[in-house]
Amino acid sequence: PIAVMKFFVIISVVLVTYFQFIQAAKPNIVYILTDDQDIRLNSLHVQPKVKSLLIEQGLYFENAYATTPVCCPSRSSILTGKYVHNHGTYENTVPTGCDSQSWRDRNEHKTMGAYMSNAGYKTGFFGKYLNNYALSESGKTVAHIPPGWTRWYTLVGNSKYFDYSVSNQGIEEKHGNNYTQDYFTDRIRDEAVQFIKDSTKNFDKTPFFMYISTPAPHRPATPAPQYADKFANEVAPRTPSYGLVGTDKHWIISKGTPPLTNNAADVIDNLYRDRIRTLLSVDDLVEEVVTTLEKMGVLDNTYIFYNSDHGYHLGEFGQHGEKRQPYDENIRVPLIVRGPNVPKNKKTSALALNIDMVPTFIDLAGSLIADDIDGVSLKPVLMTKENMKNKDDYQFLLEYYGEGGQFSHCKKEFGFLHDCHNNTWIALRGVSSETDYIFAQFYEKDDFPVDPNLIYFQEFYNITKDPWEVTNEVNILSSKEKAIFEAYLDRWYKCSGKTCQDMRKINLSK
């Protein structure tokens, strides 16, 4: 009997060691994406749980950017690891590629879910997918589950907090306006937590990847009732460009944006308060996810990424709550990572783009990164123990295609143009140890791809000395300097895969 007991003890130890080895070989990955969360307007300061559980336990990227400042194109870039000009979803409507048949034919079999499933992961998606998912104009219903996703709990259409439908494993689930049953941020929190529990019970050591996509703080920015009265005295930050009349900028700002009135400022402040109120529920979500990972014994072998699809402006250059411009408040995003071997409570100046998420996850999973992916893996940055403040030299592409052609009239609020004709632009953004800069070109038509013969305006900012991009210095550039920027911008717009990766390290500021 003693020998038999010893045998079973040995077998038990071997099995535990084996399961621990399998678990250690493939880390779990949790990707939390917010919707329209700014980084320049201090939204993180209302999230103490993000601070204590992620920032203080991980690595904060000071130079994290979205390559396009609008929802569906950016989310398509996140899913594919590609620039807009390579995945072809260039605006928020079905005719411009957003959850269209062309998206499904061209891209959907080569997205985050499929890559991680092929790497041996159990996968789960919870929240907002693409703006037109399962709407009638997309040509698909809630029965459509994109390739690679094991668990699918996804919003129909664009961001909402109440009165919405979801696809729950391909079956429509309708929700009303009862907070405890329907508040969308809480619903996806609960579904994500259950996914963690289901993925780790009964000695199941299959690694899991989960993508949690919250509606917050996107409009209508409806806060949970317990947070509806928070921050009553807060106002939108009065940045150096707040309310500034941008006479040296492209026409949407110089001619299409009237001076801010007191009424307009009140609207902006109310929106700001509601936005940060909705982020309190995201804070609760982060806490619940981290707590559950810890309870299930897998936190130490799990990477958690916290990110946003793009930034936001609230009064900068007189513009109301929106995005769609090339300035830093629209393109800079939060990116925080904690996990195995990631330095704690550190910052890095390394560049990180939305197109880098897919290759990073694939690399962490130990798989090969596809040749046609434009982004690069951030794994080497996550694992470094060197000085995090050394700033390297990078450049990258920004692109946006105006929605003017999709509407019978320009989108206005208090006389301000959200978007209109001729708001299509591409830009070269440099992040350098010497000079940060942006060089942008604006086009006469909202065509995709852009016509290089239809440039009507250019902007250049030395962001090192002018961080809020107040003064357009394009006319100070010499003809030679301008020609260099134009040539590189043209090269960037034609890049794909490795050529995009290689061009990141070219420094034009010296």
Using the structure block, give the residue that is written with the tokens 């290089």: 452
**Residue of 186, 159, 406, 164 whose CA lies nearest to 288:** 186
What's the Rg (C-alpha) of the chain?
Answer: 23
Name the DSSP class of 70: S
CA distance 76 to 94: 13
The helix/strand/coil state of 339 is coil
CA distance 460 to 433: 18
Per the annotation, the verdict on 72 as an active-site residue is no
- How far from chain centre, in Å, is Cα 355? 9
CA distance 131 to 364: 29
E strands of 369-473, at which residues? Answer: 394-400, 411-413, 416-419, 424-431, 437-443, 455-462
Using the structure block, give the residue that is written with the tokens 């309310």: 243
**Residue of 114, 24, 61 whose CA lies nearest to 358:** 114
Q: Compute CA distances 475 → 426, 440, 465, whole Å.
A: 18, 13, 17
Cβ–Cβ < 8 Å for 222, 43? no
Alpha helices in 257-353 (DSSP H): 262-295, 328-331
Write the single-letter amino acid at 362. Answer: I
E strands of 66-150, at which residues? Answer: 122-127
Cβ–Cβ < 8 Å for 88, 106? yes
Burial class (CB in 10 A: 0-12, 13-18, 19+), 386: exposed
CA distance 484 to 492: 12
Cβ–Cβ < 8 Å for 303, 364? yes
CA distance 398 to 496: 14
Alpha helices in 165-250 (DSSP H): 179-182, 184-200
CA distance 306 to 31: 6
**Residue of 278, 259, 351, 376 whose CA lies nearest to 38:** 278
Bridge-based pairing state of the strands 151-155 and 394-400: unpaired
Q: What is the 3-state secondary structure (H, E, C) of 340-387?
A: CCCCCCEEEEEEEEHHHHHHHHHHHCCCCCCCCCCCCCCHHHHHCCCC
> What is the set of active-site residues?
71
